[in-house]
Structure 1
Amino acid sequence: MFDIYLTRLHEVTVVLYALSVLLYFIDFLTSNRKANRIAFWLLAFVWVLQTMFLVLYMVKTGRFPVLTIFEGLYFYAWVLITLSLVINRVLRVDFIVFFTNVLGFIIMAIHTFAPIQYESHVMAEKLISELLLIHITVAILSYGAFSLSFVFSVLYLIQYDLLKRKKWGTRLLRLSDLSKLENMSYVLNVIGVPMLIISLILGTQWAYLKVPNMIWYDSKVLGSFVVLAVYGIFLYLKVGKGLAGKQLALWNIASFLIVLINFFLFGKLSSFHFWYS
């Protein structure tokens, strides 16, 4: 029973780590200090939990946990989180902090959901199923963010057209101003992209464990990475190139059309992605 509770606590730790990565990404793009603070304290809590697990394991085994690949992975994840916290507080290099935590999250997810470390076959299978559930849930949440972003871009184009044609009236007043519509579209993509990254990390691990002969050029796999690429380009155009206005809204709408194609068409063409049945 204790092992079950410990496993659940490991899963909670992964979820908290994912939230921290999400907030660090938001801060990385928008220089949101509030998001940075929350991400830091979430990461600090994850570090406390990991340190407790590490100490308990050392007490249980009577040795330092680096003699097996899975012990080494856990210690490696702990080292990355420790370094990330130090960098965040001492150097304040946000670029390094974000990517260090993405790597740390990958290592943590691999360690938590790797079935070989569980003696019970039933427990191992249950963990893999829960990994799949988290992967699907986070993917759908990211698609939800992209959907709302698409709606704001459509409203932006409608408002833009009304202003250009000088169609003053109730409809114009009921729509928000252009800058707010554009900003909301951008913020939702800032939320959606890291969630999609997290989903792809977890999905890749699930596929590695459950579909050993998986074809990496499967339509759904490629489609998901294309979606990530087009929204990554959106963020680059916005943040790196300073693109704004109608062009950015059109790019966002085109990106969402790729989301729909990936979700509905590529899912049916995929060799294993038909709702993972």
Structure 2
Amino acid sequence: MADVRWVYDVTIFLYAASVLFYFHDFLQSNRKVNRLAFGLLAVVWCLQTVFFVSQMTAKLYFPVLTLFETLFFYSWVLVTLSMVMNYLFRIDLIVFFTNVIGFVVLSLSMFAQETEMIEQTKALTSELLFIHITLALISYAAFSLSLVFSIMYLVQHYMLKRKRWSPLFRRLPSLDKLELFSDRLNMIGLPLLLLGVILGAIWGHLVLSAHFWLDPKVGMSTLVLIGYSIVMYQRITDKWRGSRLAVSNLVAFSLLLLNFLFTDISGFHRWM
């Protein structure tokens, strides 16, 4: 692992530079700087992919078990989704805001002490567990992007109500588009999370005791599912629209953050 550690270090450095260039473009709307920032981000994605594949090859399992691996994979998913969104919809701001989150997550991975898996842990893991974790992380990334769109919606709604026509306002998509993008990402994230929870429950039933349902992490995951299900139901039935829907999306994401924090007090979800 040491021979590819430099890839991780260079990735951190280039990611920081990309975010700084995006911040410069955010303030002054400079297209040359924007292209430079996106180019660096593309290099960051390539380096992250190389590092991730090298981990998978060296460890002979899909590396999403330790806190370090989880944060790194989550950051990689955010970078990937932001680039895809930018390619499909050409929204520079979503790339900037999403990668601020991605860079923070990747930076936090520097402080996560990566430990080797003990033999007992290896015996308890299976492909089912890897799929469960992977689906959950991808759903988290989709919900994160949905949160960014909701925040952008609330910012634009606030500016419209107060008739503040700043350069930032002109760069934001319409309210309808922001609401639509947020809704579509929730429609991606919710079934993925549901499937991940189902697979996790199957794994828990096969490996753990019958009382694994009482684990706080399981309870919080259920609350997250309920929260986003309520948001989606209210959106489909047109009972919640606009800023109310955006605020409810923020509340649902706060449950997701609590669910992530509950990992360390869980009986079997603890970071290794």
Shorter chain as normaliser: what TM range? Answer: 0.5 to 0.7
Task: Give 1:235 deviation, angstroms.
Answer: 0.6
User: SS of the counterpart of 2:209?
Assistant: coil
Instruction: Give the alignment partner of residue 264 of structure 2, picking from 256, 261, 268.
Output: 268
- Indicate which of 191, 204, 208 corresponds to 1:194: 191
Partner of 1:131: 128
What are the within-5 Å matches in structure 2 for residues 108-147 of structure 1? 129-147=126-144
- 2:217–2:263 Cα contact (<8 Å) kept: yes
What is the match of residue 52 of structure 1?
none
Per-residue CA shift, 1:18-52, capped at 9, x if unaligned?
Answer: xxxxxxxxxxxxxxxxxxxxxxxxxxxxxxxxxxx
State the AA in 2 paired with 1:222.
G
Residues 131, 248 of structure 1: alpha-carbon distance in 2 compared, 3 angstrom cutoff: same
Stretches of structure 2 that go unaligned for 5 or more consecutive residues are 1-121
Q: CA shift at 1:151, angstroms?
A: 0.6
Q: Does 1:219 align with 2:216?
A: yes
Q: Trace 1:81-92 onto structure 2 (pairs within 5 A).
A: none
- Partner in structure 2 of residue 230 of structure 1: 227
Q: Distance in 2 between matches of 1:170 and 1:229?
A: 38
Structure 2: distance between partners of 1:259 and 1:128: 24
Name the SS for the 2:270 alignment partner. Answer: coil
Q: TM-score, normalised by structure 1?
A: 0.52
Distance 2:128 2:249 in 1: 30
Secondary structure of 1:192 counterpart = helix
Partner of 2:175: 178
Q: Which aligned segments of 4 or more residues in structure 1 are displaced greater than 4 angstroms?
A: 125-128
Return the TM-score normalized by structure 2. Answer: 0.53
Code of the residue aligned with 1:257 in structure 2: it is S
Aligned partner of 1:210: which letter? V
Q: Distance in 2 between matches of 1:218 and 1:171?
A: 45
Corresponding residue of 1:205 = 202
Give the letter aligned to residue 155 of structure 2: I
Matched ranges for 1:7-86 at <5 A: none
| Displacement of 1:210 | 1.4
Cα 1:212–1:127 shift into 2, 3 Å: closer
Structure of greater Rg: 1
Cα contact 1:149–1:188 (8 A) shared by 2: yes
Hey, what does 2:59 align to over in structure 1?
none
1:164-192 CA-to-partner distances (Å, cap 9, x unmatched) read: 11011211001111000011000000000
Paired with 1:241 and 1:178, the residues of 2 have a C-alpha distance of: 16
Q: Is the 8 A contact 1:207 1:214 kept in 2?
A: no
Could you say which residue in structure 1 is the equivalent of 2:30? Answer: none
Counterpart AA for 2:214:
Y
Paired with 2:211 and 2:123, the residues of 1 have a C-alpha distance of: 21
Question: Match for 1:159 among 148, 151, 156?
Answer: 156
Q: 2:145 aligns with which of 143, 148, 166?
A: 148
Contact 1:141/1:192, CA 8 A, preserved across alignment: yes
Shift of 1:234: 0.3
The one-letter amino acid of 2:263's match is: G
Tell me by how many angstroms 1:126 deviates: 7.6
- 1:127, distance to aligned residue in structure 2 (A): 9.8
2:165 is equivalent to residue 168 of structure 1: yes
Partner Cα distance (2:240, 2:254) in 1: 20
Check conservation: 2:135, 2:195, Cα contact below 8 A: yes
Q: Which runs of 5+ in 1 are unaligned?
A: 1-124
Q: How does 1:247-266 map to 2 (within 5 A)?
A: 247-264=244-261, 266=262
Shift of 1:212: 2.3
Q: What CA distance in whole angstroms lies between the structure 1 residues aligned with 2:209 and 2:216? A: 17
Q: Distance in 1 between matches of 2:178 and 2:142?
A: 14
Aligned mates of 2:210, 2:175 — CA distance in 1:
49
